[in-house]
Amino acid sequence: MNTGFKIPTLLGLGVLLIGLLGGVFLVSRNELAVFQTKATKFVEPQKITVTNLSGNSATIYWQTNEPSPGFIKAGQSSSSLDLIFNDDRDTGTPKPYKLHFVTLINLSPNTTYYYKIFSGTNSYPNQPLSFKTSTDVPSSPNSPLIGQVVDENSQPVTEAFVNLSIPGSSDVTTITKVSGNFILPLTSLADLSSNPQAVLTVFSGEKSSKINLILPFAKNSLPQIILGQDLDLSAQESTPSPTSTVKYDLNNDRMVNALDAGIVFNNFGKKGKNILGDLNKDEIVDQKDVDILGKLPN
């Protein structure tokens, strides 16, 4: 009777074990399929550009034909890319964008850096690209270009590159914020007292605008830019120095300049009494406050 009892038990255990292993295999395969489905695929970077070159920083921007997370690994050796830089808009895990804008900081002057772009699951290209930082020079006290980009329906363009080109100088570039606003610092350029002609190009990958102007620009902000439409501001009077007024000097340096504009943009959308950047005192920092900066007398 003991023999008759053991055989079914062993057979049962064997069947149970086989079923368990099969179930584990199926579950594992399903989990792998789910993981592969959720995994971000590689999206090839296009129109890779190095801009904003200085002695201690540089910016690299590129486009992808569909939204994809991206970041950069860089280093002073092509075989050791030990520095990681995220998109300027990312504060944690990289988010998917079609326009990518990464600033590399704390670099050494007059030094060659190698880099790869990590787009989705893969790096690009196979062999690292490179750029060389400039010789470290003091910053110039040039006022920035400030503006807003909207579409034909007056809606903010949240992803657009803004690039300034001046003959004989390196290009400087920025990217619009969620409100379509931008601040383009010009401190890396030489003194602009000679009033050079410049071209500001705004592009989103599908549409672009070209704005002709003479620097320094006469007002603290540009007219609203409608993406896809060009502007000729070269006939407007330029000004050799930043505006000086006490009322809108938010950082108490006796000047209204890029630092004050930066305070307005950093607080854009915030509400409350006496909030810094609320120039018209309506208890919200919005486009009306940006417009005030643009209308200040010179």
The pLDDT assigned to 264 comes to 84
- Is residue 36 over pLDDT 60? no
Architecture of the structural domain at 145-295: Sandwich (2.60)
What is the per-residue pLDDT across 114-153, written as a single tens digit (0 to 9) for each? 999 999 889 999 999 999 999 876 677 888 999 999 999 9
pTM of the model: 0.68
- Is residue 186 over pLDDT 70? yes
The percent of residues above 90 in pLDDT, for the chain, comes to 50
Kindly state the average pLDDT of the residues 53-68.
95
Domain boundaries, the chain: 46-132, 145-295
Give dist(CA 77, CA 268) in Å, integer.
41
Give CATH superfamily name and number for 46-132.
Immunoglobulins (2.60.40.10)
CA count, 13 A, side-chain hemisphere, 216 = 26
Give dist(CA 52, CA 165) in Å, integer.
11
- Is residue 84 over pLDDT 70? yes
Binned at pLDDT 50, 70 and 90, residue 39 comes out as very low
The amino acid present at 257, given as its one-letter code, is N
The pLDDT assigned to 191 comes to 76
Same fold? 46-132, 145-295: yes
SS3 content of the chain, % helix, strand, coil (to 5): 20, 35, 50
The pLDDT assigned to 61 comes to 98
The pLDDT assigned to 26 comes to 37
